[in-house]
Amino acid sequence: MKAAFLAASIAALCLSTVSASAQSRSSLAFNRAPMATTATWTGWYGGFNGGAIADLGSQISASGTVTSFTGFPATGTALGQSIPSREDPGAGALFGVQFGYNYQFSPKYVVGFEADLQAVSSLDTSGTASALVAGGGGAGFTTTVSTSRQYDYLGTLRARLGVTYTPTTLFYVTGGLAYGGVNSSTSVVSTPFVAGIVPPRTGPNVFGGSFSGTRVGYAIGTGGEWMLMRNWSVKAEYLYVDLGTVSYATGTQGFDVGPSNFPSFGTASVNTSSSVRLADHIFRFGANYHFYGP
């Protein structure tokens, strides 16, 4: 009896030890499971951004084409040549929202798309240029051209291709469509002169033109995004946006430079136009909320 009791006790002790060991391993595996989960970029997201927009000049040009003249030809030529050009940098701020979708098709690579819409504040690229061109016989013209441009809004629709440096760090390149509402205006003031006559007998001629509309172009860039927690990430991004060149008429200037004003010089007429280059650099920071499932 004692031997049977001792055998039963040893068996019970062994079973208890095995059960405790299994429970311990199960508990350890359970506690480690969340740590084994890796971050994923797959899913929809949306957020906001803000930053700066700037151009590096080469934005504004103006030209005059001689349409008619009588008398001395240099009068009309001088009038056309007096329309100056100017390159001026400009900068401003922008604020906006974005949304998009990512698909992580391997631990290393992520593809997706992103759309954004920006309000552009205080970007006014403006240039003022003056020219003094003398015609024949000591007569000529001084001309001042002032041109400005602004965005009403600016948006893009781009593809993204990214590489994960770590599970929570994504570096990407991006490119696609860009569009924006653009306003540009030009003012021209041209004044004739005759050597030795102050003030000139003919007053200044003031005219100009403007453009307002939607332009479409392209955007390319690069950036980085960091997952701070399961649903939130922050990003830094650079984009180059090119909406092409806007050209528009800025009026016709004509002068009667006949005997009543410039003896022996007749008349001259010039059509003018302006061209504005719409190419800008964008530097911005943003935050995204990722809509993962439960």
Share of the chain above pLDDT 70, in %: 70
Residues 140 and 284 in one domain: yes
Does one domain contain both 148 and 274? yes
Whether residues 24 and 56 share a domain: the answer is no
Both 204 and 239 in a single domain?
A: yes
What is the pLDDT, as a whole number, of residue 18? 39
pLDDT digits (tens, 9 = 90+) for 2-38: 444 444 444 444 445 434 444 444 444 434 434 334 5
- Same domain as 186, residue 67: yes
pLDDT surpasses 80 at 60: no
Same domain? For 72 and 191 the reply is: yes
- Tell me, yes or no, whether 7 and 110 share the same domain: no
Domain encompassing residue 6: 1-37
b/e for 250-277, b at 16 or more Cβ within 10 A?
bbebbbbbeeebbeebbbbbbbbbbbbb
22 and 123 share one domain: no
Mean pLDDT of all residues in 72-97:
78
Query: Is the N-terminal amide bond of 199 cis, ω within 30° of 0?
Result: yes
**Which is higher by pLDDT, 198 or 92?**
92
Residues 17 and 114 in one domain: no
Name the nearest CA neighbour of 135 among 264, 294, 2, 287: 264
CA distance 67 to 53: 39
Between 240 and 195, name the one with better pLDDT: 240
Q: Give the pLDDT band of residue 165 (cuts 50, 70, 90).
A: very high
Looking at the structure, tell me whether residues 175 and 270 fall in a common domain: yes
Q: How many domains does the chain have?
A: 2
Provide the pLDDT for residue 2: 42
Q: What is the DSSP letter of 117?
A: E
